[in-house]
Amino acid sequence: MSKKQHYTITVNGKEEEFLAEPRELLIYTLRERLNITGPHIGCETSHCGACTVTIDGKSVKACTMFVAQADGKGITTIEGIGGPDDLHPLQNAFKEHHGLQCGYCTPGMITRATKLLEENPNPTEEEIRFGMAGNICRCTGYQNIVKSIQAAAAEMSAAKEAAE
């Protein structure tokens, strides 16, 4: 074990300051220190994506990033994407199109999908499948996840067009 250091991270818009060992993985900082339990742990080797968060505009697997590496950065988790009063279109689409079953991969899946749609607002099915390949789901076989993302993309594009 090593000496505790002082870190500041901003999670879902809220600045958090604390002392932690540099070896602490970001996923534990979020889940155990800050009680943000939306991101989950599935493999601790970056394969499954259950822990996906957004850090400074990029999708990151929080299970393989040390808290020291996240110091000073801004982090968005599923809790910052939408809540009961302001659901993100993806959150709604996953329900409408049965894009989840046990729900364990869902926070990471939706968090990743928000980035995918930012990077590519009108993805083809192939682009969705490729863009989501870092997130594993054991229940759905992905077919309805793809459908959910397509539906959200269409809804978001339509809303954007209407706004312009």
| Residue ranges in contact with other proteins by CB under 8 A | 1, 21, 23-24, 28, 31-32, 35-45, 47-48, 50, 77-79, 82-84, 87, 91-92, 94-96, 98, 100-107, 110, 128-130, 132-146
User: What minimum distance in Å lies between the beta carbon of 77 and other proteins?
Assistant: 7
Q: How far is CA 39 from the centre of its chain?
A: 7
- Type of residue at 32: E
**Which are the contacts of 108, defined by CB distance < 8 A and separation ≥ 6?**
39, 40, 48, 49, 50, 51, 52, 78, 135
Q: Which residues pair with 16 in a beta bridge?
A: 9
Task: State which residue, 9 or 76, has the beta carbon closest to other proteins.
Answer: 76
CB of 99 to other proteins, least distance (A): 9
Q: Which residue number, 9 or 38, has a Cβ lying nearer to other proteins?
A: 38
Nearest approach, Cβ of residue 20 and other proteins (Å): 10
- Residue 57 burial by CB count (10 A; 0-12/13-18/19+): exposed, middle or buried? exposed
